[in-house]
Structure 1
Amino acid sequence: MNATKLSVNLNKVALIRNSREGNYPDVTTFGQICLDAGAHGLTVHPRPDQRHIRPGDVFALSDLVQQHPGIEFNIEGNPNAGALGDYPGFMTLVRQTLPHQCTLVPDSNEQLTSDHGFDLTRSGDALRPIIEELRELGCRVSLFMDPDPAQIDLARAVGADRIELYTGPYAAAHKAHNSEMHKLLDQYRYATEHARDIGLGVNAGHDLNLDNLEQFLHIPGIDEVSIGHALTVDALTMGMATAVHAYLRLCHHQ
């Protein structure tokens, strides 16, 4: 069974911090705890309203990752998110920090969380020059996608290196124990096989947790999962390091 890398999304740690004045809990400290526990990367998803990750966090975590060779920094978000207040803009943050991976997501400023993949028949032409710039900056580019082979073909055509499969529907079906789950797993399996056949790497993320991750990772060829909300919730009861260890076990690393 293939080993899948775990990137810990620190947004929810930042959300707790932002509920009070000051810097407690410190996002960078928790990033270090995750790395010490064996996480392969750190993920942030800055948004213009700065509801969780702030620009200063992006710079601090970039500096942290640079102190750990082999660890990857992943910035995800909407490349068309403009400046709001003292938010410098998504692309500006990427240009200034040069993450190893940039995951482009089609969310709006008003969305609570990401809930669908790109429709590249509509947005592909606009994304192409952004992807070209990101690759020139040395960033691996991943596009947030539904498990639709036709759309995955378009992701390859616009120059992406990877896709990140949006796993929200699978997680919902798994929680409900309904008959759709196995049908969805087949769709994700086929989408993964198709992506890899045409030269794309495959990441996955959204609502993956300790209950549903193992079954999802029976799909071979998943390079990386990015997990934040569920892992942070688990950390409330078991501690951050223990939570990271639990997820790594399911990724077949421990």
Structure 2
Amino acid sequence: MRLADYLARENEPLRSELERFFANFPADAPVSPLTLPAGQFLIRQDDPCGSVYILLEGQTTTLASQPGYNTYAFWDFEAIELFGEYEVLSEMTSYLAEVKAKTRCRLLVISAQTYMNWMMRDGRMFLSRVRSVLQTLVRQTAQERRSLFLDGTARMMQFLARYYEKNAKKGAAATVAMTRPAISEEIGFCTRTVNRSLRKLAEEGFVTIQRGKVRLTAKQYEMLTTELEHRTLK
């Protein structure tokens, strides 16, 4: 399918946004629409790298794993975002990390060669993508440095603060709509450590656990962020 044919099927305002984004995309290059349900993997670590994926709608999380260690979720992304371009730009032969749909996602798939042709003919887009890649790497590196020496409880506090920021309506409480194994995967510690950390935080008043559900109020969020800042500055 050609890009123009795909865009003709899109609704506003996304169509106009995509037309601007793809303004200098090669006219005859094929694109393939892809829909992923929540929980399904888009990219697997170490798989051969041959495509670039363009997230049009939804949210993904990026995961990395090493033998003998838990899988660690280190960044979330929302549309419009590209996956696989790090590897293509650096001429890697396999993907460096895993990408998993957190919500239902719609994407376009293009070949690595199409991506490079697009970048070579559109200097502004190329500069924009390089900046985006570098900014993401800088943010991830800063986060990894902050997290490197955090214990399970501190990592849990970091996760809860980030979850509240993303999901709570202004001034309202938020309930963590994730299972303990899912939280374990998110923070990179085992389920036993997750449960122990949550019990400790509940005892200290940082969270409330009701019928197994973790609840966080605006006041508790402020307490968490203050304590977390204190711990990371030690």
TM-score of the superposed pair, with normalisation by structure 1: 0.24
Q: Which has the higher contact order (CA 8 A, sep 6+)?
A: 1
Give the number of the structure whose residues are more often strand, by fraction.
2
Task: Flag the structure with larger Rg.
Answer: 2
TM-score w.r.t. the length of structure 2 is 0.25
